[in-house]
Amino acid sequence: ILITGASSGIGEHLAIFLSQLEIDLQLILVARREEKLEALKQTLQSEMTTIHIIRADLRVQEDMDHLLEFLHQLPAGLDIVVSNAGLSINRSILQSLDRFHDFTRTMAINYFAPVQLLLSVIPLLQQNHGQIINISTINALITPLPKWAAYQASKTAFDTWLQSTAPELNKIGITTTTIYLPLVKTPMILPT
Catalytic residue numbers read 151
Q: Are the CB atoms for 175 and 132 separated by under 8 Å?
A: yes
Q: Are the CB atoms for 113 and 65 separated by under 8 Å?
A: no
Query: Which contacts qualify for 123-126: CB closer than 8 Å, 24 or more apart?
Result: 124/71, 124/72, 124/74, 124/77, 124/78, 125/77, 125/78, 125/79, 125/81, 125/169, 125/174, 126/172, 126/173, 126/174
Amino acid at 30: V
